[in-house]
Amino acid sequence: MPERIEWLEDGSPGGSPYSPRFGDRYRSENGGLEQAQEVFLKGCGLPEAWSRQPQWCVLETGFGLGLNFLVTWAAWKADPLRPRLLHFVSTEAYPASADDVLRSALAHPELIPFARQLKHQLWGLLPGMHRLVFEGGQVVLTLCIGDASTMLREVSFEADSVYLDGFSPRLNPDIWDAHTFKAVARCCRRGTRVATWTIARSVRDALAQCGFVVKKVPGTPPKRDNLQGQYEPAWEIKKHRPAPPHRLAARCIVVGGGLAGAAVAASLARRGWQVTVLDAADAPAAGASGLPAGLLAPHVSPDDSLLSRLSRSGIRATLQQADLLLQAGSDWNPAGVLEHCLEHARKLPAAWHAGQALADAAADWTAPATAGQLAQCGLPPGTPALWHAQAGWIKPACLVRAWLATPGVAWRARSAVHRLGRRTDAWQALDAAGQVLAEAELVVIAAGYDSHELAEALELPCALALQPIRGQVSWGLHAPGTAGALPVFPVNGHGSLVPAVPLSQGMAWIAGATFERDNTSTEPRPEDDAHNRHKLRALLPASARHLAHQFESGQVKAWAGVRCATPSRLPSLGPLNAAADAWVCTGMGSRGLTFAVLCAELLAARLHGEPLPVERRQADALLPQFDKGCASVPESKIYRQI
Ligand SMILES: Cc1cc2nc3c(=O)[nH]c(=O)nc-3n(C[C@H](O)[C@H](O)[C@H](O)COP(=O)(O)OP(=O)(O)OC[C@H]3O[C@@H](n4cnc5c(N)ncnc54)[C@H](O)[C@@H]3O)c2cc1C
């Protein structure tokens, strides 16, 4: 259940929000807008402090109804000298519903357009980190759902400003204690400014204990005083994990113009990098990303495994990009996916079941399929199946082309990279004849399975652990009656069927895919079509019966490609050398649509010392894996060496 809020009638538009859990109002009696502007923004010297900076990062304890975020975003938008990127990281143990967040903003008409956009993205807030992006990716909100001190242990960045907010220290002491402030201090550098509306003695003492120097300043009515200060401990700051330095945007070579490489290019270009994407092929998305259409659907497991959680973060990131860049209906369709649980009937974590604490947030993502949805696929009632609401199909090449069109990205076809060489402080990409194709301070290898060979030329102590997995999909054009005989949404679970995708040849269905390890052939094979048909019979017997004629009369066409997988089934993302200026981004396996954007944003965040898009431990799980006997590059080394 979202947090219960009571709306008190006090004459303000929409009423005044009150928390029965804490017995306190969400905002000051005089309204929250003035408090947000005066106490927090001005209290941290904003907007002047962020003028002409490339990036700015605000950390807030207590997201509440999002008013401080909305006010900061509005101030950023109004400021001609605003930073290129605004990060806002906020913790919240009891997230309010999207409707309540919008209702709370009704009292402030100037914030309503911002609040509507926020509302649109406030769904599926399960415990953990959620990244919401606005303004084409220039305003980034990282919502940490859970206890503040626990969640802040899972982040690694340096905040420029800290807003300490929350219910009164008397009614919610935990968020104001030394335990929480210690976690906040870990995210500060010497000089990080801090502001709050309370001057409670216990708060001042706890802040002082954790290295903050604060003073009372004249308050915003009804408060006589507020508190302002900065992180200035009397002791030397020793960080468990050294803070990553903020790297300046420069030139970057990306090898490979599929989902992985194009996403990296776009993420870096948005931060001011000049990116050259080199690809051996004539056109973008010539490798596995040339798949006619692929599925985007979360992984679900009873223990909500690392893969499941990462898949949700990845899907949220891809949906945001697709929403921004693609044409719904022709390039993608986010209308949901039904998973027919053929092998494991019980997949949902116990806490997601109806009536349990996380049921509502979980249902935004995944819920048991209804009898109606089963009937639409010709499956009998009671068939074990899930409905993934935040899911659908995407044509990967459309995403790739959109990312390559980002200002700052230059695409170079027919540029096969044979070797990467080092020349003083830059990398050179060389072709087979030894000619220099491009030169840059940073290189990112995103060449699918070919990354293995390219990385070898860097003389790493061990080879990257990557495996090629051949796959073939079978597809055909709709005949009269096909649309009515197939489900109206894609189905996965044992192979998959995307029932209706508009291709240049006409409306098509796509079924697949085969899965053959250590095979790098992209030649279509008739026996693979037979295999796909066999799988379809188990997945969707009625659809398989309808398509039988097309399979038998040779009308079915095939597309084959090579996936690149890692032993952990997670992507491989991180620096390959001690100087951390040669990175790899590959190993997307069967989930390139889920992981490409997330990996690209993670790479950019690590390079720039920004807040990571996922919890630290999850991000570490994606560090490159090497062949047996070789450990991954330790993260402490990455940060030290950048
Ligand atoms: C049959 C099949 C079905 C799939 N279904 C789905 C699905 O439903 N959902 C999903 O999310 N994913 C699916 N995938 C996986 C998805 O296609 C991949 O994860 C994704 O496309 C990988 O993107 P990439 O950029 O890492 O690799 P690729 O798209 O393979 O791109 C690598 C690029 O590097 C270039 N390159 C290689 N070597 C060099 C070099 N030396 N110099 C220059 N350029 C070079 C290549 O030309 C290529 O363009 C499927 C894959 C297959 C094969």
pLDDT tens, position by position, 587-608: 999 999 999 999 999 999 999 9
Average pLDDT on 308-315 reads 98
Best residue among 253, 289, 449 to mutate for probing ligand 1's pocket (most ligand atoms within 8 Å of CB) is 289
Work out the average pLDDT over 340-356: 89
**Is 245 inside a domain boundary?**
no
**Of 112, 132, 411, 70, nearest to 255 (Cα)?**
411
> 60: CA distance to ligand 1 center in Å?
39
Distance 611 CA to ligand 1 centre (A): 28
* 412 located within any domain: yes
C-beta of 430 in contact with ligand 1 (< 6 A) = no
Same domain for 14 and 122: yes
Q: Confirm if 68 and 60 have CB atoms less than 8 A apart.
A: yes
pLDDT at 630: 65
If asked whether residues 402 and 472 sit together in one domain, one would say: no
Q: Give 538-590 as a DSSP string.
A: HH-HHHHHHHHHHHHTT--EEEEEEEEE-TTSS-EEEE-STTS-EEEEE--TT
The finding on whether 437 has its CB within 6 A of some atom of ligand 1 is no
List the one residue out of 57, 169, 241 whose CA is nearest residue 636: 241
| pLDDT score, position 156 | 84
CA dist 497 and 69 (Å) reads 42
For residue 617, the surrounding DSSP H or E stretch is helix 616-620
**What does the pLDDT read at residue 391?**
98
Show which of 517, 541, 565 is a domain's final residue: 565
Q: CA quadruple 312, 313, 314, 316: dihedral positive or negative?
A: positive
Is 222's pLDDT higher than 70?
Answer: yes
Residue nearest to atom 6 of ligand 1 (CA): 294
**Which residues, in sequence order, are bridge partners of residue 426?**
423
User: Which pLDDT does position 23 carry in this prediction?
Assistant: 86
Q: Residue 340's pLDDT is what?
A: 97
Cα 572 to Cα 599: distance, rounded to the nearest angstrom: 9
Tokens coding 132: 């919401």
Specify the pLDDT at position 640: 32
DSSP lists the bridge partners of residue 276 as 253, 410
| Distance of alpha carbon 598 from alpha carbon 620, whole angstroms | 13
User: How far lies 205's CA from each of 75, 224, 233, 341, in Å?
Assistant: 31, 19, 13, 55
Tell me the average pLDDT across 610-637.
79
Q: Is 288 in the pocket of ligand 1 (CB under 6 A)?
A: yes
What's the pLDDT band for 636 if we cut at 50, 70, 90?
A: very low
What's the pLDDT band for 314 if we cut at 50, 70, 90? very high
pLDDT number for residue 637 = 43
User: Within a domain: residue 107?
Assistant: yes
- Protein residue with its CA nearest to atom 25 in ligand 1: 258
Q: What does the pLDDT look like over 451-492, one tens digit per residue?
A: 999 998 787 778 899 999 999 999 999 999 999 999 999 999
Q: What is the model's pLDDT at position 97?
A: 95
Q: Which residues of 367-386 are buried (b: 16+ CB within 10 A; e: fewer)?
A: bbbeeebbebbbbeeeebbb
pLDDT of residue 236: 87
Q: Is 300 part of a structural domain of the chain? A: no
| For range 432-454, the mean pLDDT | 96
Edge-to-edge strand ranges of the sheet holding 55-61: 128-134, 139-145, 85-92, 55-61, 159-164, 188-196, 225-231, 212-218
Question: Is 500's pLDDT higher than 50?
Answer: yes
Same domain for 48 and 183, yes or no, is: yes
- C-beta of 298 in contact with ligand 1 (< 6 A): no
At 388 the three-state DSSP class reads strand
Find the mean pLDDT for residues 119-130: 97
Asked if residue 406 and residue 360 are part of one domain, the reply reads: no
E strands, 74-138, where? 85-92, 128-134
**360 and 417 fall within a common domain:** no
Q: Is 258 in the pocket of ligand 1 (CB under 6 A)?
A: yes
* pLDDT, position 344: 83
Q: What is the pLDDT of residues 178-201, one digit of tens each?
A: 999 999 999 999 999 999 999 999
Q: Is 258 left (phi over 0), alpha (psi -120 to 50) or beta?
A: beta
Atom of ligand 1 nearest to the CA of 418: 41
pLDDT at 27 over 90: no
- What CA–CA distance (Å, rounded) separates 289 from 413? 15
CA separation for the pair 622, 25 (Å, rounded): 42
- Give the chain's mean pLDDT: 93
Q: What are phi and psi of 157, to 5 degrees?
A: -165, 170
Domain that holds residue 270: 251-287+397-466+568-641
pLDDT computed for residue 639 by the predictor: 37
Determine if ligand 1 sits within 6 Å of the CB of residue 455: no
Residue 288 tokens, joined? 């596995």
| Ligand 1 contacts CB of residue 293 (under 6 A) | no
CATH number for 550: 3.30.9.10
Q: How far is the CA of 30 from the centre of ligand 1 (A)?
A: 56
pLDDT for residue 425: 84
Band of the pLDDT at 15, cuts 50, 70, 90?
A: confident
Tell me the per-residue pLDDT of 404-423, one tens digit each, with 9 for 90 and over. 999 999 999 999 999 999 88
Asked if 263 and 114 sit in the same domain, the reply is no
pTM of the model: 0.95
Kindly tell me if the per-residue pLDDT of 112 is higher than 70. yes
The residue type of 267 is: S
Q: Is residue 635 scored above 60 in pLDDT?
A: no
Report pLDDT for 29. Answer: 66
Tell me how crowded residue 488 is: count the other CB atoms within 10 A of its CB. Answer: 14
Whether residues 119 and 214 fall in one domain: yes
Q: How many percent of the chain have pLDDT more than 70? A: 96
Among residues 565, 595, 629, the one where a domain terminates is 565
Among protein residues, the one with the nearest Cα to ligand 1's atom 18 is 592
Do 155 and 73 share a structural domain? yes
Determine the Cα–Cα distance for residues 268 and 4; give it in Å rounded to an integer.
Answer: 41
- Taking the centre of ligand 1 as the mean of its atom positions, its distance from the CA of residue 473, in whole angstroms, is 14
Cα 90 to middle of ligand 1, angstroms:
35
Helix (H) or strand (E) holding 469: strand 467-477
Domain membership of residue 321 (yes or no) is no
Which of 22, 101, 38, 96 is closest to 67 using CA atoms? 101
Q: Are residues 516 and 572 in the same domain?
A: no
Within-domain flag for 118: yes
Q: Is 38 in the pocket of ligand 1 (CB under 6 A)?
A: no
Q: Which residue shows structure tokens 């402090």?
A: 49
- Cα of 599 from ligand 1 centre, angstroms: 14
Distance CA 588, CA 569 (A): 8
Q: How many domains does the chain have?
A: 4
Question: Is 417 close to ligand 1, i.e. is its CB under 6 Å away?
Answer: yes
Q: Work out the average pLDDT over 121-129.
A: 97
Distance 421 CA to ligand 1 centre (A): 25
Indicate whether 58 and 151 sit together in one domain: yes
CB 58 within 8 A of CB 210: no
Question: Alpha-carbon distance 495 to 538, whole Å?
Answer: 9
Check whether the bond before 624 is cis (ω within 30° of 0).
Answer: no
What tens digit of pLDDT does each residue of 275-307 get? 999 999 999 999 999 999 999 999 999 999 999
* 448 CA to centre of ligand 1 in angstroms: 6
List alpha helices for 271-395, DSSP H. 306-325, 359-365, 371-376
What's phi and psi for 459, nearest 5 deg? Answer: 55, 50
Torsion of CA 34, 37, 38, 42, to 10 degrees: -170
What pLDDT, on the 0 to 100 scale, is given for residue 462?
82
Q: What is the mean pLDDT of residues 431-444?
A: 97
Q: pLDDT class for 631, splitting at 50, 70, 90?
A: low
- CATH number for position 179: 3.40.50.150
pLDDT number for residue 423 = 86
Kindly state whether residues 145 and 190 are assigned to the same domain.
yes
Gap from CA of 289 to ligand 1 centroid (Å): 4
- What is the spatial distance between Cα 286 and Cα 594, in angstroms, rounded to a whole number? 19
Model pLDDT for residues 134-163, shown as the tens digit of each residue: 999 999 999 999 999 999 988 889 999 999
- Report H helices in 271-394: 306-325, 359-365, 371-376
Task: Specify if 237 maps to a domain.
Answer: no
Cα–ligand 1 centroid distance for 450 (angstroms): 10
Of 328, 363, 387, the residue that ends a domain is 387
Residue 573 falls inside a structural domain = yes
Q: Per DSSP, what are the bridge partners of residue 203?
A: none
Specify whether 123 is located in the same domain as 148: yes
Tell me the average pLDDT across 5-34.
Answer: 83
Count of all residues that appear for the chain in the document: 642
Position 243 confidence tier, pLDDT thresholds 50, 70, 90: low
The CATH code of the domain that includes 414 is: 3.50.50.60
At 507, the pLDDT band (50, 70, 90 cuts) reads very high
